[in-house]
């Protein structure tokens, strides 16, 4: 093939490029570029119409300038003009410019889309491909909106050329990734799956990528792809090295397609059909066998392509995790690679073995390679390979090899790259704790960590060692002895001083018998470090000193002298000063008994998940450790979590416990009293049966807000059917709801308690509980002024049909509300059948003689009568299918109004009332829920699915219920919450 002679050489462009290359300095380059920009601008602005060639040349120059890193703010229009040229190269340059410099100027997007539309309709495959490439390159939402519906049609049309199909498949993939909501699933999906059978390998190659992406969200729709993929793969794997002609790459048949097919299969569990499965296992074995055959070529491309398939095969075997034989073979194969001369293969083998180590079938086989891996950690020259080796050691560690692995990792730490030290420290700390048989080894290990890499030992690590030593009395003496020895080093890390200070303060007495570590020696050793330490450490040491006064009365005078020194009592740091003053006073006033009680040994810490593990998870990836977040707890939660014997004295002592708050990895176990009380209350009230009790006991204000005023005298209770005494005034008497009413209502869809309304005069608070089809709501009306409200009359109104759907029974409240006072109103609610609009709450009163009135929507929505239902994935899908009539489904796609946080979303869905079902949706990002709406007349089963798309900041919400209006209504309600 001749060299570039054929191109559409643009001489002016080449001259410009070589000018730029000849520029000696950045300034010269900028000068040359500015000159060119001025020239192009004048050409574009000139009255003489430019011919296509010149336009193409200038647009190309602009593109070049942009790619050099300069901003381009004109020329877009000329590029768009090129799109409608019928000369191919002009069109091509136009598309390239648009693809690289896309800009969300809506006017232009419309023009661009128009040009694309024309090319797609042109039936000229080369033009169609250009247009598809452009859509795929830009991938913007606007383009998705314009073309997402057309492209599937092009993709499956019988008369589309192969090259067009290929481009269409990947174009659709890009649009789907960017805006999944815009790509409608439909009849075409089945035909896309059958592209796996296409004769043209290129079409299959493109289609597999599309199917792999689509099936992740819609596994059921694409299930038939499994058997097709297996048979395609089988044909490739068993073909001779030249069968596939140009699709053979360095004697490897269709490596890209093979890898993609293996990836596709990883979206599904092992095939259920025994024949398909058998065929697949055969394929996997063939790949493993081929790895043992001598290479057909010495070229690295040959071995890379072959091994790419091998590694993907191993990934699939690990994904299935069900074929012990294959897992062990995979492990042996990787073992061979561990000593391969290609660094790349060693790297990948280490990485892949990490996942094998977690399978019960191959864990032991992985362990046999420990020496090779340790050797890799020591001798690999590339840090990224050493990192993989460290990861693998961590993954293969268990009780049998923990000592060896921990000591190797400690040794590695001495020379490890700074970037990975903290991670290694965390891993060592975790392994040492997890597999400690004797805790003296654990203590030694952590102290070694501090010695070797003190700067990388985070708080979590040294807090944890204190926690463990405190909880295990068999190791306390050893710990005291060891820290004492460690502190004797002339230069020791501040973290060592912290650990040493704390442990000696608690357990120094255990080694005090030895004259070499007598109390005065311990004290002077610690105090010799004092002046070199930070404020936090010094504060900790002061607490150690006061503990010493209790442990060793003989040190009292010395320590009081230290505390009394001007440098402590008048320390500029308020914490140090306060500790010095208080400890000094405590030591002088308190009797020995009091001192002994106050400074008692710390109680054991409650067992909880290691905060170190949480930290490692956080480091390893967002989301992984969110459930374990050990955010600092409010110090007031101290006594809740205080431990086994939370004597007030121990807790209130300003002992080093203050420094340990960071240990609290779990939220305080004791829930606030009020909500649980309220829950019980509701059970009591309604336990007798679904019918509401005609007379309720005294209002249990105790359970809610104890500072409430006593409730107003009750009005005679009316029967539900006839709430006469507080009869609704009728809609005509009630004004329309205030404009914010809907927004206020929305706030209560997912929660039951809160402030419903507030202005300068009045605050209305809500507390409510719902069970089955019944609810009880407390409304609190607070007078914010100092003047009495008169003729205070809150009433509940049922507009329209609501009367027959919802029964709300209210009690009258006192007609006067004093300034600053709060009155409470109780509402008993019964849901008779499904309803769409909430009741209205009308509040009327006179303030300073002027009549006031206010209408709100009462926060009673249909979802309040939700009863969560747990079910297994299988049941869920079965029910989902049963509700497949179009009118049973409501779907909404909407932009996120709040940050997309999975935990918040979960909380909202639970608040909404449905159960959250794990392990149902194959995509763990998605949420699936189920519940039953309980009304007196009927029950409505509801299934919901929420699919967040973080990239697009969008959600898709799907509701299926047996009643159409309920689906729609729930969908509306819930969609506003995110």
Partner 1 sequence: MQFMLLFSRQGKLRLQKWYVPLSDKEKKKITRELVQTVLARKPKMCSFLEWRDLKIVYKRYASLYFCCAIEDQDNELITLEIIHRYVELLDKYFGSVCELDIIFNFEKAYFILDEFLLGGEVQETSKKNVLKAIEQADLLQEKTDNAYHSKSFMGYKKAY
Annotated binding site: 11-12, 43, 53, 57-61
Among 197, 224, 336, 384, binds partner 1 (CB under 8 A): 384
Task: Please give the full DSSP string across 325-356, using - where no structure is assigned.
Answer: HHHHHHHHHHHHHTT-S-HHHHHHHHHHHHHH
Residues 821 to 860 in contact with partner 1, rule: CB under 8 A:
none
Spatial separation of the C-alpha atoms in residues 799 and 790, rounded to whole Å:
26
Please identify, among the stretches 253-261, 354-362, 681-689, 735-743, the one whose residues bind partner 1 according to the rule CB under 8 A: 253-261
> Which CB, 255 or 508, lies closer to partner 1?
255
Tell me, residue by residue from 444 to 483, as one string, x for binding to partner 1 by CB under 8 A and - for no binding: ----------------------------------------
Contact 262, 225 (CB under 8 A): no
Tell me, residue by residue from 50 to 69, as one string, x for binding to partner 1 by CB under 8 A and - for no binding: ---x------x--xx--x-x
> Which CB, 68 or 755, lies closer to partner 1?
68
CB of 177 vs partner 1, minimal distance in Å: 8
37: Cα separation from own chain's centroid: 47
CB of 48 vs partner 1, minimal distance in Å: 19
Residues 96 to 135 in contact with partner 1, rule: CB under 8 A:
96, 100, 126, 129, 132-133
Spatial separation of the C-alpha atoms in residues 971 and 957, rounded to whole Å:
7
Spatial separation of the C-alpha atoms in residues 358 and 395, rounded to whole Å:
7
Q: Give 660's contacts (C-beta < 8 A, 6+ positions apart).
A: 463, 466, 467, 605
- Beta bridge partners of residue 828, listed in sequence order: 776, 809
Pairing of strands 850-857, 866-868: unpaired
Spatial separation of the C-alpha atoms in residues 701 and 717, rounded to whole Å:
19
Sole residue written with tokens 């100027």: 105
CB of 924 vs partner 1, minimal distance in Å: 14
Cβ count near 633 (within 10 Å): 18
> Which CB, 348 or 909, lies closer to partner 1?
348
Please identify, among the stretches 305-313, 423-431, 541-549, 864-872, the one whose residues bind partner 1 according to the rule CB under 8 A: 305-313
Among 83, 93, 450, 504, binds partner 1 (CB under 8 A): 93
Contact 883, 889 (CB under 8 A): yes
Residues 420 to 439 in contact with partner 1, rule: CB under 8 A:
none
Q: What is the largest CA-CA distance in the chain?
A: 104
Residues 335 to 364 in contact with partner 1, rule: CB under 8 A:
343-344, 346-348
713-718 own/partner pairs: CB under 8 Å, 24+ apart: 713/814, 714/811, 714/812, 715/811, 715/812, 717/809, 717/811, 718/809
3-class SS at 621?
Answer: coil
Q: Does the footprint of partner 1 cover residue 178 (CB under 8 A)?
A: yes
> Which CB, 419 or 644, lies closer to partner 1?
419
Judge residue 382's burial from the number of C-beta atoms within 10 Å of its C-beta, 0-12 exposed, 13-18 middle, 19 or more buried: exposed
Q: Does the footprint of partner 1 cover residue 87 (CB under 8 A)?
A: yes
Please identify, among the stretches 300-308, 591-599, 607-615, 738-746, the one whose residues bind partner 1 according to the rule CB under 8 A: 300-308
Helix axes of 300-320 and 274-292: crossing angle, nearest 10 degrees: 140
Residues 137 to 156 in contact with partner 1, rule: CB under 8 A:
137, 139-140
CB of 10 vs partner 1, minimal distance in Å: 7
CB of 262 vs partner 1, minimal distance in Å: 9
Please identify, among the stretches 380-388, 669-677, 868-876, 936-944, the one whose residues bind partner 1 according to the rule CB under 8 A: 380-388
Q: Does the footprint of partner 1 cover residue 530 (CB under 8 A)?
A: no
> Which CB, 93 or 943, lies closer to partner 1?
93
User: What's the angle, vertex CA 449, arms to CA 443 and CA 450, rounded to 5?
Assistant: 95
Residues 570 to 629 in contact with partner 1, rule: CB under 8 A:
621
The length of the chain, given as a count of residues: 978
> Which CB, 350 or 586, lies closer to partner 1?
350
> Which CB, 69 or 899, lies closer to partner 1?
69
Among 177, 434, 472, 879, binds partner 1 (CB under 8 A): 177
Q: Does the footprint of partner 1 cover residue 305 (CB under 8 A)?
A: yes
Contact 317, 326 (CB under 8 A): yes
Tell me, residue by residue from 692 to 731, as one string, x for binding to partner 1 by CB under 8 A and - for no binding: ----------------------------------------
Among 191, 223, 235, 263, binds partner 1 (CB under 8 A): 263
CB of 348 vs partner 1, minimal distance in Å: 6
Contact 197, 228 (CB under 8 A): yes
CB of 15 vs partner 1, minimal distance in Å: 9
Among 98, 164, 171, 192, binds partner 1 (CB under 8 A): 171
Residues 265 to 284 in contact with partner 1, rule: CB under 8 A:
266
Q: Does the footprint of partner 1 cover residue 440 (CB under 8 A)?
A: no
User: How far is CA 336 from each of CA 340, 380, 397, 544, rounded to the nearest angstrom?
Assistant: 7, 16, 20, 55
From edge to edge, which strands make up the β-sheet containing 789-797? 789-797, 840-847, 850-857
What is the size of the binding site for partner 1 (CB under 8 A)? Answer: 80
User: Residue 222, CB half-sphere, CA atoms under 13 Å: how many?
Assistant: 25
Q: Does the footprint of partner 1 cover residue 21 (CB under 8 A)?
A: yes
Residue in 794, 793, 789, 847 with CA at minimum distance from that of residue 816: 789
> Which CB, 103 or 524, lies closer to partner 1?
103
> Which CB, 173 or 503, lies closer to partner 1?
173
Q: Does the footprint of partner 1 cover residue 387 (CB under 8 A)?
A: yes
CB of 314 vs partner 1, minimal distance in Å: 11
CB of 131 vs partner 1, minimal distance in Å: 12
Q: Which residues of 869-878 are buried (b: 16+ CB within 10 A; e: fewer)?
A: bebeeeebee
Among 10, 182, 492, 599, binds partner 1 (CB under 8 A): 10
H/E/C letters for each residue in 535-595? Answer: HHHHHHHHHHHHHHHHHCHHHHHHHHHHHHCHHHHCCCCHHHHHHHHHHHHHHHHCCHHHH
Among 79, 82, 83, 92, binds partner 1 (CB under 8 A): 92
CB of 616 vs partner 1, minimal distance in Å: 16
Spatial separation of the C-alpha atoms in residues 431 and 446, rounded to whole Å:
11
> Which CB, 29 or 972, lies closer to partner 1?
29
CB of 505 vs partner 1, minimal distance in Å: 43
> Which CB, 164 or 230, lies closer to partner 1?
164
Tell me, residue by residue from 198 to 237, as one string, x for binding to partner 1 by CB under 8 A and - for no binding: ---xx--xx--x----------------------------
Q: Does the footprint of partner 1 cover residue 11 (CB under 8 A)?
A: yes
Contact 195, 216 (CB under 8 A): no
> Which CB, 313 or 653, lies closer to partner 1?
313
Spatial separation of the C-alpha atoms in residues 406 and 891, rounded to whole Å:
53
Q: Does the footprint of partner 1 cover residue 167 (CB under 8 A)?
A: yes
Contact 758, 764 (CB under 8 A): yes
Contact 829, 807 (CB under 8 A): yes
> Which CB, 9 or 851, lies closer to partner 1?
9
Spatial separation of the C-alpha atoms in residues 825 and 792, rounded to whole Å:
12
Q: Does the footprint of partner 1 cover residue 385 (CB under 8 A)?
A: yes
Among 3, 49, 721, 850, binds partner 1 (CB under 8 A): 3
Structure tokens at 599: 């400074």
Spatial separation of the C-alpha atoms in residues 768 and 827, rounded to whole Å:
9
Pairing of strands 915-916, 954-961: unpaired
Spatial separation of the C-alpha atoms in residues 750 and 717, rounded to whole Å:
31
Q: Does the footprint of partner 1 cover residue 373 (CB under 8 A)?
A: no
């Amino acid at each position: 093939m001749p060299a570039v002679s054929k191109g559409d050489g643009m001489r002016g462009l080449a001259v410009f490029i070589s000018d730029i290359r000849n520029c000696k300095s950045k300034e010269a380059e900028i000068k040359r570029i500015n000159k060119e920009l001025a020239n192009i601008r004048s050409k574009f602005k000139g009255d003489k119409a430019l011919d296509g060639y010149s336009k193409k040349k200038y647009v190309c120059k602009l593109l070049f300038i942009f790619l050099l890193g300069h901003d381009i703010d004109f020329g877009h229009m000329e590029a768009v003009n090129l799109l409608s040229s019928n000369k191919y190269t002009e069109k091509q340059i136009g598309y390239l410019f648009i693809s690289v410099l896309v800009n969300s100027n809506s006017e232009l997007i419309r023009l661009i889309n128009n040009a694309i539309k024309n090319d797609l309709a042109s039936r000229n495959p080369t033009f169609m491909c250009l247009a598809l490439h452009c859509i795929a390159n830009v991938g913007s939402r606007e383009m998705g909106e314009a073309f997402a519906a057309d492209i599937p049609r092009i993709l499956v049309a019988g008369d589309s050329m192969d090259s067009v199909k290929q481009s269409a498949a990947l174009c659709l993939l890009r649009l789907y990734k960017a805006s999944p909501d815009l790509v409608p699933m439909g009849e075409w999906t089945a035909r896309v799956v059958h592209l796996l059978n296409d004769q043209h390998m290129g079409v299959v190659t493109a289609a597999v990528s599309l199917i792999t992406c689509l099936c992740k969200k819609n596994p059921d729709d694409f299930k038939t792809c499994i058997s097709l993929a297996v048979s395609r793969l089988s044909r490739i794997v068993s073909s001779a090295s030249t069968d596939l002609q140009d699709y053979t790459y360095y004697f490897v048949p269709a490596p890209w397609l093979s890898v993609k097919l293996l990836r596709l299969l990883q979206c599904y569990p092992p095939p259920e059909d025994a024949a398909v499965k058998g065929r697949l296992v055969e394929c996997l074995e063939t790949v493993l066998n081929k790895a043992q055959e001598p290479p057909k070529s010495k070229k690295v491309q040959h071995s890379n392509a072959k091994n790419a398939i091998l590694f993907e095969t191993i990934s699939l075997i690990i994904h299935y995790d069900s074929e012990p034989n294959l897992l062990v073979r995979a492990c042996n194969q990787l073992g061979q690679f561990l000593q391969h001369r290609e660094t790349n293969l060693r790297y990948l083998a280490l990485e892949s073995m990490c996942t094998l180590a977690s399978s019960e079938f191959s864990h032991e086989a992985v362990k046999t390679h420990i020496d090779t891996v340790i050797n890799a950690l020591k001798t690999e020259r590339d840090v990224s390979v050493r990192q993989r080796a460290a990861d693998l050691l961590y993954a293969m560690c268990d009780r049998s090899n923990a000592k060896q692995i921990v000591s190797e990792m400690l040794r590695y730490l001495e020379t490890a790259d700074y970037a990975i030290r903290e991670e290694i420290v965390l891993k060592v700390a975790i392994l040492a704790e997890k597999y400690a048989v004797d805790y003296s080894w654990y203590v030694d290990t952590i102290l070694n960590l501090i010695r070797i890499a003190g700067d990388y030992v985070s708080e979590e690590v040294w807090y944890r060692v204190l926690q463990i030593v405190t909880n295990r009395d068999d190791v306390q003496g050893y710990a005291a002895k060891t820290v004492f020895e460690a502190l004797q080093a002339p230069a020791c890390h501040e973290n060592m001083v912290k650990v040493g200070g704390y442990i000696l303060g608690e357990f120094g007495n255990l080694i005090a018998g030895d004259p070499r570590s007598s109390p005065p020696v311990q004290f002077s050793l610690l105090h010799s470090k004092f002046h070199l330490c930070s404020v936090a450490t010094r504060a900790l040491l002061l607490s150690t000193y006061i503990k010493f006064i209790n442990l060793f009365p003989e040190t009292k005078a010395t320590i009081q002298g230290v505390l009394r020194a001007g440098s402590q009592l008048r320390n500029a740091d308020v914490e140090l000063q306060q500790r010095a003053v208080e400890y000094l006073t405590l030591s002088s006033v308190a009797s020995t008994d009091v001192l002994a009680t106050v400074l008692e040994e710390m109680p054991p810490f409650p067992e909880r998940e290691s905060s170190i593990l949480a930290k490692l998870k956080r480091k390893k990836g967002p989301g992984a450790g969110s459930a374990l977040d050990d955010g600092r707890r409010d110090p007031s939660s101290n006594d809740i979590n205080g431990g086994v014997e939370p004597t007030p004295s121990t807790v209130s002592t300003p002992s080093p416990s203050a420094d340990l708050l960071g240990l609290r990895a779990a939220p305080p176990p004791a829930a606030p009293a009020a909500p649980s009380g309220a829950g019980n209350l509701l059970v009591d009230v309604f336990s007798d049966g679904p019918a509401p009790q005609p007379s309720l006991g005294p209002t249990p204000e105790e359970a809610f807000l104890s500072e409430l005023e006593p409730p107003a005298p009750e009005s005679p209770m009316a029967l539900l059917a006839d709430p006469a005494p507080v009869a609704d005034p009728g809609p005509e008497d009630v004004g329309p709801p205030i404009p914010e009413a809907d927004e206020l209502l929305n706030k209560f869809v997912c929660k039951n308690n809160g402030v419903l309304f507030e202005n300068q005069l009045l605050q209305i608070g809500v507390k409510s509980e719902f069970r089955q089809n019944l609810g009880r709501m407390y409304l609190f009306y607070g007078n914010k002024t100092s003047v009495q409200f008169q003729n205070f009359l809150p009433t509940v109104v049922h507009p329209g049909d609501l009367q027959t759907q919802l029964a709300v029974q209210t009690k009258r409240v006192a007609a006067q509300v004093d300034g600053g006072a709060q009155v409470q109103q109780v509402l008993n609610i019964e849901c008779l059948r499904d309803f769409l609009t909430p009741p209205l709450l009308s509040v009327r009163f006179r303030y300073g003689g002027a009549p006031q009135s206010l209408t709100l929507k009462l926060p009673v929505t249909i979802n309040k009568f939700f009863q969560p239902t747990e079910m297994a994935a299988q049941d869920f899908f079965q029910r989902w299918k049963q509700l497949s009539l179009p009118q049973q489904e409501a779907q909404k796609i909407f932009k996120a109004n709040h940050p997309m946080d999975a935990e918040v979303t979960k909380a909202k869905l639970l608040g909404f009332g449905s159960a959250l079902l794990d392990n149902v949706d194959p995509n763990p990002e998605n949420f699936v829920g189920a519940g039953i709406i309980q009304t007196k007349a009927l029950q409505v089963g509801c299934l919901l699915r929420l699919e967040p798309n973080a990239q697009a900041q969008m959600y898709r919400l799907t509701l299926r219920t047996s009643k159409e209006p309920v689906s729609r209504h729930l969908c509306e309600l819930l969609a506003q919450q995110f």
